[in-house]
Amino acid sequence: MSTFNVKVEYDMIPIRHIAIECPKCKKWFRGWEITDDDLSEHGDIYYATFTCPLCHKKFGFDPSSHGDSGWLPTIEESCHPEIYKDCLSKREIWE
């Protein structure tokens, strides 16, 4: 089974801040920037699918796997702003 790293800060809405590391290129991203899935509850991390914007690696839950995604997140509690310390920033160019 493969793993990927997650840093999370819990609050009243259980997940307040979340950073996800791509298991292929080892770059960190803000969780909501690399998935279209809801990441508000702890269990959502296990059922989300992520796509790295740099290397395009898809990881996380695979709905076609019938429950065995092949990916297990390694979750570390962290706090803001340290949680985003290693995250790459999304930039948009206006022309």
Domain total in the chain: 1
Domain assignment present for 84: no
Report the pLDDT value the prediction gives residue 25, as an integer from 0 to 100: 97
**73: containing domain:** 2-79
Bond into 23 cis (ω within 30):
no
Domain assignment present for 95: no
Domain assignment present for 42: yes
Domain assignment present for 69: yes
Report the pLDDT value the prediction gives residue 63, as an integer from 0 to 100: 75
10 Å CB burial of residue 66 (0-12, 13-18, 19+) is exposed
C-alpha distances in Å from residue 11, one per residue of 17, 22, 80:
9, 24, 11
pTM: 0.81
**Is the pLDDT at 24 greater than 90, yes or no?**
yes
Q: Are 13 and 40 in contact (CB under 8 A)?
A: yes
* pLDDT tens for each residue of 25-77: 999 999 999 999 999 888 899 899 999 999 999 999 887 766 565 688 999 99
Report the pLDDT value the prediction gives residue 50, as an integer from 0 to 100: 95
Domain assignment present for 94: no
